Chains A and B, each alone.
Chain A
Amino acid sequence: MRLFVQAVILGLLAGGVYALMASGLTLAFGIMRVINVAQGVMIILGAYLSYTLFTRFSIDPFLSVLIVVPVVFVLGVVIELIFIRPLRPSDRESLSLLVTWAVALGIEGVLGLVYSTTYRSTIPSYANGSWRIGGFVILQVQVYAFAFSVVILTLLGLVLAKTRFGRAVRGTVQNPASAALLGVDERRVAAIGFGLSVATAAAAGAVYGVVTPFNPGSHYDLISLLLTIIVLGGMGSLPGTVVAAMLMGVSQALLATYISPTSAKLTFFILLIAILVVRPQGLFGAVERGKL
């Protein structure tokens, strides 16, 4: 029983971070019907930036987010303008997949050049610290990362719900034609939306780098996980993504504990198959467009 609860706790903590990572992915799809395969590499980029800020300037990784997020936001906007905007709307879904995969490779290549393929870890003083609560061992950084993710996700949710930009985004997601008629500048929404989606990924990356060693090739594992999460949750649905992420985190932890760490890697696939057979649009997805 104790092992079970420990696994569930660990799974939820991990799931929170996954939710943050995947939120941008589902956002990008909802707004622009773009599958950003580079989301994984953006997380790693965030991890590397925060690693550098920590090792060179002793800036705590959680604080480094203040620098990392704006930088990656700008990068995201630039990528959208140069590589995604030129794609014709009818092609955009499938071509965006290939284009963003190519961008991901390019960024992986740059990171490999700059940092080499050695695994890195951001190790602040509290990195190994843990708490024993009622017999369960919980790593401090996992809790901090979870709390951080909750904060950012809440902020994201507030932006979408309360701000004018947020309303424009939601309008575009639900019905781009009407949104345009109502004066929403679709192109601005796309650019800023994409920038936001990768910036949240980088923020997640900054704290991910404390919990997990990473190298430029780590993005493959991440992206496969995240793609499954958004399909599971229903592409374009933010609440769906959060639920799916939690489900993924807990399932992985349970499988790792009870069967083996290796089979935990297959969790995402098992869940995906199950969902596809039963409900191809995902938990919260509508059959056509998603609702944020």
Chain B
Amino acid sequence: MRTISRSGVAVTVAIVAGLVAFPFVFQANWVVNIAVFTMMYAGLATAWNLLGGYSGYISLGNAAFFGVGAYAIANLFPTSGGPPGATPFLIVPLVGLAVAILSLPIGWIAFRTRGVTFAIVTISLLFVAQTLAFLLHSFTKGSQGMGVGVPLFPVETYERPFYLALLAIFVFAVLLCWYVRRSKLGLALFAIRDDEDRALGLGVDTEVAKLLTFAMSLGITAMIGGVWAYYITYIYPQFAVDPLVTIGMVLMVYLGGRGTLWGPLLGALLLVPAQQLLAQNATTARWYLILYSGVFLLVILLLPRGIIPSVQDLASRLRAGRHRGTSPPEAAVPPVQTEAVP
């Protein structure tokens, strides 16, 4: 357990305050629109990081639960129900809780496997969810799509409530990550990441740790999906459950730094506006998938630990160089083991 550092709190407050103030300072609708998508991915990436960064279990199925949250909101607030106002934002946490609980049996089955088999199972989950989204007409209306009620927010600041809602979810996710890191759950997850069998041998309840984290991660993902459905006003299976959403959030975490607190936000801040910029230009738009793939490969091969840890390493080395003889300060998070274990 480490003590709360003053500078850590100060930075956190500064970032959150900045994010809250953003739409009030930069009020142009199109800017807040991009901010909405950025915050959406920041939340998704942070939620993914909870399981993927701390425990090392790579889940590639998160987009499935994003879709569940989206369809839940669409069912609760259909177009025919009239303008829903702020109610969906209040209901979304309940949706998240419900999904977290529902994910437990799924997690139980999935965690019967380890490592890469687990990843494959979660990929299958994703495709099954997409197929179910097409099939379960009573819940999703299949490929017809579902319309969501449109609120009567004032047009000049229409996007702002959505941004603030997603910001709230993001902050919640970050606080959760911060709390978990410092708790026994976090220790269990790190132990699992380093060597699961040894953790088991030491008496760590790995099953509960993994399931709890899985549920929290997916509950948050579903909440974000719900707000997204409300924002876009019309959802259908190909995009409510979209493999590229999973790839996007994973890429952002790897880019920013797996297992770090602010890495996912960094990844989102870099990639979402970049993506928008690419789409505006007709030439680059055609290369969209290729560029995405290229960035991903570069990150994994050249900067496998992500930006924040790499920058931290650099800073440590510089400091070690200046203070000869003093050992470099410990990184806040045990680094991801990338050296070959003998």
Interface contact A90-B131, CB-CB below 8 Å: no
Q: Which residues of B contact A108 (CB under 8 A)?
A: 289
Would you list the 7 A-B pairs with minimal beta carbon distance, nearest first? Answer: A109-B289, A106-B293, A109-B290, A102-B296, A105-B293, A224-B127, A269-B128
A35 engages B120 (CB within 8 Å): yes
Q: Which of A82-102 contact B (CB under 8 A)?
A: 83, 86-91, 93-99, 101-102
A241 to chain B, nearest CB (A): 14
* Contacting pair A90 B293 (CB below 8 A): no
Q: A97: which B residues are within 8 A, CB to CB?
A: 58, 60, 116, 119-120
Q: Are A105 and B292 closer than 8 Å at their CB atoms? A: yes
Within 138-166 of A, Cβ neighbours of B (below 8 Å) are at none
Digitize B180-211: 1 where CB-to-A-CB distance is under 8 Å, 0 elsewhere: 00000000000000000000000000000000
Pick out which of these stretches binds chain B: A57-65, A179-187, A189-197, A227-235. Answer: A227-235
A99: B residues at CB distance < 8 A: 297, 300-301
Given A109-B289, A227-B120, A276-B109, also A90-B339 (CB < 8 A): yes
A113 touches B121 (CB 8 A): no
Task: Tell me the minimal C-beta distance from B92 to chain A in angstroms.
Answer: 28
CB proximity to A under 8 Å, residues B124-171: 124-125, 127-128, 131-132, 134-135
Question: B310 within 8 Å of A by Cβ?
Answer: no
B61 to chain A, nearest CB (A): 11
In the complex, chain A residues whose CB is within 8 Å of the CB of B294 = 106
- B 270-311 contacts with A by CB, 8 A: 286-294, 296-297, 300-301, 304
Cα-based distance from A113 to B285 in the complex (angstroms): 11
Q: How far is the CA of A66 from the CA of B115 in the complex (A)?
A: 37
* Cα of A221 to Cα of B123 in the assembled complex, Å: 11
A92: nearest residue on chain B (CB-CB)? B116
Q: Is B341 an interface residue (CB 8 A)?
A: yes
**CA distance in complex: A102, B134 (Å):** 26
Q: Give every chain A residue within 8 A of B287 (Cβ-Cβ).
A: 109, 113
Task: Identify which of A88, A223, A231, A273 contacts B117 (C-beta below 8 A).
Answer: A231
Q: Decide if B119 touches A35 in the complex (CB within 8 Å).
A: yes
Quick one: which of A35, A220, A280 contacts B127, CB cutoff 8 A?
Answer: A220
Partner of B293, one of A95, A103, A268: A103
**Contact in complex: B131, A265 (CB < 8 Å):** yes
Judging by beta carbons under 8 Å apart, are A220 and B131 in contact?
no
- Cβ of A266 within 8 Å of any chain B Cβ, yes or no, is yes
Contacts of B243 in A (CB 8 A): 220
- Distance, CA A113 to CA B286, complexed state (A): 7
**Distance of A98 Cα from B252 Cα, bound (Å):** 13
Known: A109-B292, A224-B127, A268-B124. 16 other contacts (CB 8 A): A35-B119, A37-B123, A88-B338, A90-B337, A90-B338, A98-B58, A98-B254, A98-B300, A102-B292, A103-B293, A104-B293, A110-B290, A269-B124, A269-B125, A269-B127, A272-B124
Interface size for A (C-beta < 8 A) is 47
Supposing A109-B293, A110-B290, A220-B243 touch, asked if A280 and B341 sit within 8 A by C-beta, the answer is no
Whether A224 and B123, one on each chain, are in contact in the complex, defined by CB atoms closer than 8 angstroms, is: yes
**Residue ID in chain A nearest B113 by CB atoms:** A280
Determine whether the beta carbon of B296 is less than 8 Å from that of A94.
Answer: no
| A277: min CB distance to chain B, Å | 6
**Least CB distance, B252 to chain A, in whole angstroms:** 13
Number of B residues with CB within 8 Å of any CB on chain A? 45
Interface string of B37-56 (1 = CB under 8 A from A): 00000000000000000001
Docked Cα-Cα span, A83 to B338, in Å, equals 16
Are A94 and B119 closer than 8 Å at their CB atoms? yes
Q: Kindly state whether residue A130 has any CB partner on chain B within 8 Å.
A: no
The residue of chain A having its C-beta at the shortest distance from the C-beta of B300 within the complex is A99
Q: Could you tell me the distance between the alpha carbons of A231 and B125 in the complex, rounded to whole angstroms?
A: 14
Q: Does A112 contact B (CB under 8 A)?
A: yes
A88 and B342 CA atoms in complex are apart in Å by 12
Q: Determine the chain A residues whose CB is within 8 A of the CB of B135 once the complex forms.
A: 262-263, 266
Q: Report B-chain residues with C-beta under 8 Å of the C-beta of A93.
A: 115-116
Give 14 CB contacts A-B under 8 Å: A35-B120, A83-B297, A87-B301, A102-B247, A103-B297, A106-B289, A106-B297, A109-B288, A112-B289, A220-B243, A221-B127, A269-B124, A269-B125, A277-B112
Q: Using an 8 Å CB-CB cutoff, how does the interface string of A19-53 with B read, 1 for contact, 0 for none?
A: 00000000000000101010000000000000000
> In chain A, what residue has the closest Cβ to B131?
A265
CB distance from B73 to the nearest CB of A (A): 25
In the complex, the answer to whether B289 meets A276 with C-beta atoms within 8 Å is: no
- Nearest chain A CB to B294's CB is how many angstroms away? 7
CA distance A113 to B283 in the complex (A): 11
Residues in A with CB closer than 8 Å to B116 are 33, 35, 93-94, 96-97
Give complex CA distance A101, B250 in Å. 11
Task: Convert B229-264 into 0s and 1s, putting 1 for each residue whose CB lies closer than 8 angstroms to a CB of A.
Answer: 000000000000001000100100010000000000
